[in-house]
Amino acid sequence: MSDEQRSDRGGKLADLATGNRRQFLKYAGAGTLGCVTILGLDTILDDTRQSDGTLPEQLIGSTETADVVVQEREQGYEGIETNGDTIDSGADGWTVLENSIDAVPDGGSIVVSGRYQSESVIDVSKSINMYGPEALIEQQQPGDFALRFHGAERHQTALTEAASSGDTVLPLADISGVQQGDIVLLKDVGAEPILGRGHVPSEPHSVIGVDGDTVTLADSIVWRDGYDQDTLVYVLDPVEIHVSGLEMRAPAKDESYYGVAAQICRDSSIENLHMEKFGSRAIRLGPSANSRVRDCTVLQSADIEAADGYGIQVWSGSHDIVVEGCTAKECRHPLSVTAGGDLQVASRAITFRDCFVTGNGAGALNCHGGSAHDVRFEDCTVHTVGDPGLTTGAQETNVAGCEFRMDGHNAVDTRDDTQEAVITVTDTDVYGAKNGVKLSREENLNFAPLWKFVHIENVRAYGCTHLFTLGGGRVDRVRDLVIKGCYCDSAGEEGIRLLNRLESGRIQGNEFGGTAGSRHLLARSRSDGTITNVQIVGNQFSQQDTADEFVRLVDAEECVVSENTFTAQSSVNLYVDGPNSTSNRITDNTYYSPKPPADLIIEDSGSIATGNTVYDTSPGS
């Protein structure tokens, strides 16, 4: 926010502070059925109406009413009910605000204006709408949130029978008190920590029906192996909250200040919040269901020494969460999914969409291993300093329509020891990255990471060192790899590096510009593994000046290099079989060079080269 905007906002807060009780009661008199009509509070709400002039629907409700209004006046602070009675007043605005929130009925609404200094956490354990288009909260107490909205845990129980992937009905040992709308969290505490980073299989669900000793879920079980009998089940009673329009500040970005937490919520929203210098966490959502964080701005959340610095964090045990239209800049982890806290249950169906982020100190878009079954990043613009644009350890990761501008690190990176993971990156632009996409090894964890399917399509890389790297070292394998329709203007080294075990792959229809003295594609597995059944088909490779061949396969078997076009400005080999590379086919390729080498293809005795066409492009040839 510019100084001019701050000055303007401060002026509006001052104007509100000089208002008197009689002016407020004029608004209260417009209420119906004992409620204050929000639409009457034009002096408070005009600046935050939507483009069509209306207020956010979920905040005003069908009756367009509020139950309590809190304001800063010249004489101090006052919270007023709809009948004009004072709830609380005085010089301590934070206490007045807390008492006024307590007075709001369950499911009711409160409108807040003025400047408040937090002295302790305000704990809200009911459904509520909180609207603060002219409210500024200055967080003064590190170590806890300024505002915490939350439901409650009913009890813990267990499955009386095993549940399979795809099931929607669960038998529970203790069904008492469970209601439609509750959240249930499944956690197989005795299982192998196969989700990654020490996390056992777990997932969240919503209850849509209770019958006898069973509950019916809104969605089916997603974990591929299902859950054993006696799997632990947490039963949560959520609230519905809608928070909008607040500006919140903390004193220093390098200290552990917290902003807003929404825990055990469903059908909820956090919108149009402006947050600055919350070094630990600005916004934390979860465990929650069917909820949204929209159009929020988080700046300078970067407590790097404390390993925090979360801008908007989706917490353990959440499902069907969308974070959209948000700006999170100068943060350590601007947008993040983690399975933290006491529950440590993996989330699912998490989407980050249309966000602008800059990261400083860690991955800008982040999903810890074991934190999510599936996470999507759509249409996000990412700038980072010295760290990856995105790091993921989710079971399934989908990146689509994003833009990454890097200063030499990886645009999309992986983390932790997830097993049978799937990663898809499509229609994405990458600038200045070390790797457009990299599959990384992890040390000192339970497993070597294993990817079931990796799909990279229509990714455009500009000024990158590599388009794609499968890292060496402690990696189990990739079962299937597809790189299709991508563009790489020029690579600092090999455009594609396959440095570990790959069971099947297809590299098709890509366009690769020159490399800085390196080959375009290098495949070299570990001593205890091979690269097999990779189809390199229909690509265009161009090279300005290098001594290296276009394609080199080491430790590779049953691979095909076919129907590609190779254009060279010097005499280089089209293909070389390296050590332990055999039974490969190099067929029907087209090669252009001013000085084609005599041995264009150097293949192992077990490999076959046939049907390749060579054109000498030297003058007069």
In order, the DSSP letters of 247-303 are: EEE-S-TTS--EEEEEESEES-EEES-EEE--SSEEEEE-SEEEEEEES-EEE----
CA 433 to chain centre: 20
* Residue 444: per-residue pLDDT: 79
pLDDT surpasses 80 at 156: yes
Tokens of 145: 């949130």
Planar angle of CA 368, 369, 371, nearest 5 degrees: 70
* Residue 69 predicted with pLDDT over 80: yes
Least confidently predicted of 110-124, 360-374, 427-441, 496-510: 360-374
The residues of the chain that CATH labels 2.40.30 are: 152-237
pLDDT tens digits, 253-266 = 888 899 999 999 99
pLDDT band, very low/low/confident/very high, at 307 (cuts 50, 70, 90): low
Residue 17, pLDDT above cutoff 50: no
pLDDT at 15 over 50: no
CA-wise closest residue to 515 among 484, 533, 485, 541: 541
* Torsion angle (degrees, nearest 10) of CA 324, 325, 326, 330: 120
Burial 279-292 (b: 16+ CB within 10 A, else e): bbbbbbbbbbbbbb
- Domain 152-237 in this protein, CATH class: mainly beta
Residue for token digits 């089916």? 220
pLDDT (mean) for 578-585: 95
Percent helix, strand and coil across the chain, each rounded to 5?
10, 50, 45
Tell me what pLDDT residue 12 has.
39
Task: Calculate the average pLDDT of the chain.
Answer: 88
Percentage of the chain beyond pLDDT 70 is 87
Residue 56 has pLDDT above 80, yes or no: no
Tell me which DSSP letter residue 473 carries: S
427-456: average pLDDT: 93
Give the C-alpha separation, 234 to 207, whole Å. 12
Distance CA 101, CA 67 (A): 10
Q: Residue 358: beta bridge partners?
A: 383
Model confidence pLDDT, tens digit, residues 505-522? 999 999 998 777 678 888
- Helix, strand or coil, per DSSP, at residue 16: helix
Mean pLDDT of 294-308: 81
**What is the per-residue pLDDT for 525?**
75
pLDDT band at 62 (very low <50, low <70, confident <90, very high): very low
Residue reference for tokens 């909260």: 137
Whether residue 364 is predicted with pLDDT greater than 50 in this model: the reply is yes
pTM: 0.89
Mean pLDDT, to the nearest integer, of 13-37?
Answer: 36
Q: What is the pLDDT of residue 565?
A: 98
Q: Is the pLDDT of residue 23 over 50?
A: no
The one-letter amino acid at 243: V
* Location of structure tokens 């203790």: 174
Q: Give residue-wise pLDDT tens across range 238-257.
A: 999 999 999 999 998 888 89
Calculate mean pLDDT across residues 153-158.
98
Tokens found for residue 406: 């890097």
